[in-house]
Chain A
């Protein structure tokens, strides 16, 4: 490379990548002076290779079809399980396929014919049988059912079919949709894959045997590296070189690049963009899946979460490479892997930040978050540039009329129900009420202002943990405790939200998801706070009256001792939901609501109209964090404890799905969203009446989210509203034909 081509290569756009590269080299140089640290860095290569492969898969998808695929890590994890099922059990598992006969069976069961059974769609296809092997140390060791090559071959074929299915069923229908709709669909895909694996294999880890040889390779200065990690690195380097050459030298690669700029470009080269997108989907799915298979043995086990969440460092690597350069992606992926491993090592050192005497876990996981924030904030602009405006098409946000009486009537009816129904329905109502609060927070932030947040449950958790660890520990009484929690959630929400002011659309989804992962690892799983077992929350009491869900209660009018959960806790939840509902309705009806929707529609035009775009967003982040914080406190009371698993990054994604399904831009949508949350009213109907397992809720939520993203409808609440309008309009047109005024869109119910 001569000087002039170097000068043209080095544009301002490349500064972050170059700076990161130089920093990386310096850090590595300093550390290499120290051999145990060198060892740690080298041991990060295997993880780095997996991160790089997932990042390459993301980049490939982006080039091929403009999708930022949040599910790339989940695809790698899924591939690992496909291989595991084949190799160990000789079985190919199938995702749940809806059985048209199931409802008939369910109705028969409902009618009392419990033994009535119709044919079921198989769950596994058995291809080989495991043979019982030799007895060693007194236990039978099961021999793998299928040779490695056969299991690998079938896995690759399955992954290729999956790639095609993703293209044809999900992303091809979305090809002209805004990038954000594609992100929502990929979040749906993430949830679906995760749910399928949990359904088929449970969420506990399975031990896996190595595929690549694991003989340690000796290197200078006493450093050694298991050979499988070395092979992984070599493979990912080979893949990168292959992709680089493919995109640089072949018509196919050229056409994909051209298509990613504009569709005509590919047509000129004789390829249909659609074909290119399909091929790239197959390639990226096989790539991620194969590395999931090959890399799972590094940790000796596979579980549904670990590899899935590598999406965060992989996104950081892909962002550093601007979703375009394969070589930079590779370097960034390997670098993040090695740095992570190094941070884990130095966490044993005395100077490393400690909590309760042990090193703070999760600091290594915070690294990708820091990279993402720095890169995006450096590159971001506080207003989008001309021509780059990209907003997700969100459903219409109606102005409600008559919501006060409706809220009152529904609230009082719910309170009445709480005392009448059996305990499991009471619990379902409470779960739905808590879910409604979280969905309301998404209505404000995503529905009204168009800012996609994948961290609302993490903010809820911040509040729950504050309630447990600060308020309870210092005997701060009831109404102040949860309010304090909500205020702390607001502070954290603003800390994460303020850098997000320069970041929009897909990138905001990336930032908030990385923030949620970081909060989960750094705060919730922090031994100083709770560790994995959770932290207890004392039940609320006011003037000596205890109304936690597990506090004993007596029925009114001398009815004797009532069954738990305590309905008065439900009453408390109803009151909270009613207050928040009215507040969110009022936001939509007042000035701030109009400003929020203006920002959602068009940031540049909003600024030209004198709206403070940043101020409006900050306010929305704050209000949404406050509402989520209230929700977190409620769920703390509901369970009597707060745990990391309930409030992490994945639950945040899942709640976005519920809110989206219900109808993300209206308060009534949040009500529907609450009804469909896991453990809520709908799942209780499923389990109690239709005998459908609760585990299917997540699966259905994920599928629903994908359908929502493709069809762009207004959610369940919107559909109901449209139905009501249609009926009203029919009536109006039959009674008064001359009335042609455009009916003002008004929300029929709350």
Chain B
């Protein structure tokens, strides 16, 4: 059964189609990759799924159409996401970042907290931090962390909400190879534990090894889909994307109109990595 399925998804900015009639499905407990060159529309797809840009088409989540819901309601329904540039709450400690995602506020609780603030139980959140090797940073501020750690805190925060489906926007960008592989194993084990994941990343090694199924976008259009083996062999993908990468392996500053993906850690031209 598909946990998340989108059909006929289109997003345009001004007259420009950033995503065009895109269909995608994420089955329960599966790890689906979404790849494509810079500016292909990957982030925009996640933005549309999670309600951050207006879009056409249907978004079905866990059997119901959620396209009318606000971002907040989608998140509460169990649709989590991470951000390409972490987007942490810099005014809160790492643990507080996680608490924001895991706790709900209601008026009665608020009134009680005014007089006698609860001591909220953070043992679950500590486990999440432990699993991502962030245990020592619980009381640090995000601005005191390295870039890689910040990305991991972004993942930890998304996990803190206990999502059913998690959309991850380049979680491994800016991590070194060892960290990246460790993150890959961690994502894989989450999926094996029942979580469904939609993963965007430029690290082909990572995506092709851990994903069950892949979609390839270019200029907002689906150009290929299939298992990693099929994608590896797909000629369109090779010409549009992988082929050039192998012949010309460097990060491109203005990658929007070329088909070369940014090297890990390279600055994506769109969506502005602010904390690089």
**A686 at the B interface (CB under 8 A):** no
Q: How many A-B residue pairs have CB under 8 A?
A: 118
**B66 at the A interface (CB under 8 A):** no
- Map CB proximity to A onto B42-55 as digits: 1 under 8 Å, 0 otherwise: 00000100111100
In Å, the complex CA distance between A619 and B53 comes to 26
Task: Return chain B residues, CB-CB under 8 Å to A619.
Answer: 110
B75 contacts A590, C-beta separation under 8 Å: no
Contact of B52 among A386, A587, A601 (CB under 8 A): A386
10 pairs, A vs B, C-beta closer than 8 Å: A396-B91, A586-B113, A586-B115, A597-B96, A605-B83, A605-B87, A606-B100, A608-B81, A608-B87, A612-B105
Closest 3 A-B residue pairs measured CB to CB?
Answer: A590-B113, A609-B101, A605-B87
A386 contacts B92, C-beta separation under 8 Å: no
In Å, the complex CA distance between A595 and B13 comes to 31
With A386-B53, A586-B117, A619-B110 already in contact, the answer to whether A609 and B93 are too (CB < 8 A) is no
Measured CB to CB, the closest approach of chain B to A441, in angstroms, equals 15
**A685 at the B interface (CB under 8 A):** no
In Å, the complex CA distance between A385 and B51 comes to 11
Question: Which of chain B's residues 88-123 have a Cβ closer than 8 Å to chain A?
Answer: 88-93, 96-97, 99-101, 103-105, 109-110, 113-118, 120
- Map CB proximity to A onto B139-160 as digits: 1 under 8 Å, 0 otherwise: 1110010000000000001100
**A268 at the B interface (CB under 8 A):** no
Task: Return chain A residues, CB-CB under 8 Å to B116.
Answer: 586
With A605-B83, A605-B87 already in contact, the answer to whether A586 and B114 are too (CB < 8 A) is yes
In Å, the complex CA distance between A397 and B120 comes to 19
A587 contacts B72, C-beta separation under 8 Å: no
Residues of B within 8 A of A (CB): 47, 50-53, 70-72, 75-76, 80-81, 83, 87-93, 96-97, 99-101, 103-105, 109-110, 113-118, 120, 139-141, 144, 157-158, 161, 271-272
**A594 at the B interface (CB under 8 A):** yes
B105 contacts A595, C-beta separation under 8 Å: yes
A742 contacts B120, C-beta separation under 8 Å: no
Interface residues on A, range: 35 or more
- Map CB proximity to B onto A227-255 as digits: 1 under 8 Å, 0 otherwise: 00000000000000000000000000000
Task: Return chain B residues, CB-CB under 8 Å to A601.
Answer: 88-92
Contact of B88 among A594, A605, A611 (CB under 8 A): A605
With A600-B91, A611-B72 already in contact, the answer to whether A594 and B96 are too (CB < 8 A) is yes
Of all chain A residues, which has the CB nearest B271? A386
- Map CB proximity to B onto A566-588 as digits: 1 under 8 Å, 0 otherwise: 00000000000000000100110
B117 contacts A590, C-beta separation under 8 Å: yes
Task: Return chain A residues, CB-CB under 8 Å to B89.
Answer: 597-598, 601-602, 605-606
In Å, the complex CA distance between A612 and B107 comes to 13
Measured CB to CB, the closest approach of chain A to B120, in angstroms, equals 7
With A608-B75, A610-B75 already in contact, the answer to whether A597 and B113 are too (CB < 8 A) is no
**A589 at the B interface (CB under 8 A):** yes
B52 contacts A383, C-beta separation under 8 Å: yes
A583 contacts B81, C-beta separation under 8 Å: no
Of all chain B residues, which has the CB nearest A616? B105
**A475 at the B interface (CB under 8 A):** no
In Å, the complex CA distance between A383 and B110 comes to 24
Task: Return chain A residues, CB-CB under 8 Å to B161.
Answer: 609-610
Task: Return chain A residues, CB-CB under 8 Å to B88.
Answer: 601-602, 605
Q: Given contacts A594-B96, A594-B99, could you give 16 more A-B pairs where the C-beta distance is less than 8 Å?
A: A386-B47, A583-B114, A586-B114, A591-B103, A591-B113, A595-B100, A595-B103, A601-B91, A602-B90, A605-B87, A607-B51, A608-B71, A608-B83, A610-B72, A610-B104, A742-B141
Measured CB to CB, the closest approach of chain A to B39, in angstroms, equals 13
Contact of A744 among B101, B113, B139 (CB under 8 A): B139
A613 contacts B139, C-beta separation under 8 Å: no
Task: Return chain A residues, CB-CB under 8 Å to B76.
Answer: 610
Task: Return chain B residues, CB-CB under 8 Å to A591.
Answer: 99, 103-105, 109-110, 113, 118, 120
Task: Return chain B residues, CB-CB under 8 Å to A387.
Answer: 271-272
**A592 at the B interface (CB under 8 A):** yes
Residues of A within 8 A of B (CB): 382-383, 385-387, 394, 396-397, 583, 586-587, 589-592, 594-595, 597-598, 600-602, 604-613, 615-616, 619, 742, 744-745
Of all chain A residues, which has the CB nearest B118? A590
Of all chain A residues, which has the CB nearest B86? A605
Task: Return chain A residues, CB-CB under 8 Å to B80.
Answer: 608
In Å, the complex CA distance between A602 and B81 comes to 15
Task: Return chain B residues, CB-CB under 8 Å to A604.
Answer: 52, 71, 87
Of all chain A residues, which has the CB nearest B14? A11
In Å, the complex CA distance between A607 and B76 comes to 9
In Å, the complex CA distance between A68 and B137 comes to 40
In Å, the complex CA distance between A385 and B76 comes to 20
Task: Return chain A residues, CB-CB under 8 Å to B75.
Answer: 607-610
In Å, the complex CA distance between A383 and B93 comes to 24
Task: Return chain B residues, CB-CB under 8 Å to A385.
Answer: 53
In Å, the complex CA distance between A604 and B144 comes to 22
With A595-B100, A598-B92 already in contact, the answer to whether A607 and B113 are too (CB < 8 A) is no
Most buried by A among B87, B120, B158: B87
Measured CB to CB, the closest approach of chain B to A446, in angstroms, equals 13
A597 contacts B109, C-beta separation under 8 Å: no
With A610-B76, A611-B100 already in contact, the answer to whether A583 and B115 are too (CB < 8 A) is yes
In Å, the complex CA distance between A383 and B52 comes to 8
B117 contacts A742, C-beta separation under 8 Å: no
Task: Return chain A residues, CB-CB under 8 Å to B99.
Answer: 591, 594
Task: Return chain A residues, CB-CB under 8 Å to B139.
Answer: 742, 744
In Å, the complex CA distance between A340 and B157 comes to 52
B87 contacts A602, C-beta separation under 8 Å: yes
Task: Return chain A residues, CB-CB under 8 Å to B144.
Answer: 742
Task: Return chain B residues, CB-CB under 8 Å to A744.
Answer: 93, 139
Contact of A592 among B52, B110, B141, B157 (CB under 8 A): B110
In Å, the complex CA distance between A609 and B74 comes to 10
In Å, the complex CA distance between A569 and B21 comes to 69
B71 contacts A383, C-beta separation under 8 Å: yes
In Å, the complex CA distance between A742 and B145 comes to 11
Contact of B103 among A383, A386, A594 (CB under 8 A): A594
Most buried by B among A383, A600, A605, A615: A605
Task: Return chain B residues, CB-CB under 8 Å to A594.
Answer: 92, 96, 99-100, 103
